[in-house]
C-alpha cells in the first residue's frame, strides 16, 4: 500500500449515531468526529478543534457546519474551513454501507 492510498474503516452501525449528533472515533492515528445530520446524511471531520482542542463531536451541527462547543468557531463540512477564524479541519469521506458507518482515511 502506498502512503497516499485511502483505507476504508468500518466504525459500527449508523443506528448508534443519534440523529443530529456526533461521536468521536479513534481511526488509526486520527480522532474523527462523525455526525448523522437531521436528514440522515453523514459527515466526518477532524475531532479536535485546532483553536483550543475542543471536542467537536460535542458541537452543534446543521446541514453545512459544526460549531465548536468551547469558543463557537464554526467549520464547514464541505471543505473544513473555519467560517470565523484562521483555522481548518480535515474532512473525511464517509458513507453508509450495509447499515454501518464507513470512513476513508
Question: 58 phi and psi, to 5 degrees?
Answer: -90, 0
- The pLDDT tens digits of the residues spanning 60-105 come to 999 999 999 999 999 999 999 999 999 999 999 999 999 999 999 9
* CATH fold for domain 8-104: Rieske Iron-sulfur Protein (2.102.10)
Residue-range domain boundaries for the chain: 8-104
Q: For residues 52 and 36, what is the distance between their CA atoms, to the nearest angstrom?
A: 24
pTM: 0.94
Q: Are 70 and 52 in contact (CB under 8 A)?
A: yes
Which regions of the chain does DSSP assign to beta strands (E)? 8-13, 21-27, 30-36, 42-46, 60-61, 65-67, 74-76, 91-97, 100-104
Amino acid at each position: 500500500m502506498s502512503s497516499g492510498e485511502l483505507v476504508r474503516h468500518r466504525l459500527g452501525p449508523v443506528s448508534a449515531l443519534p440523529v443530529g449528533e456526533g461521536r468521536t472515533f479513534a481511526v488509526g492515528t486520527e480522532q474523527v468526529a462523525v455526525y448523522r445530520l437531521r436528514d440522515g446524511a453523514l459527515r466526518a471531520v477532524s475531532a479536535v478543534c485546532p483553536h483550543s482542542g475542543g471536542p467537536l463531536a460535542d458541537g452543534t451541527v446543521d446541514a453545512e457546519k459544526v460549531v465548536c462547543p468551547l469558543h463557537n468557531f464554526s467549520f464547514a463540512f464541505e471543505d473544513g474551513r473555519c467560517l470565523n477564524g484562521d483555522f481548518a479541519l480535515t474532512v473525511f469521506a464517509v458513507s453508509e454501507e450495509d447499515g454501518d458507518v464507513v470512513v476513508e482515511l
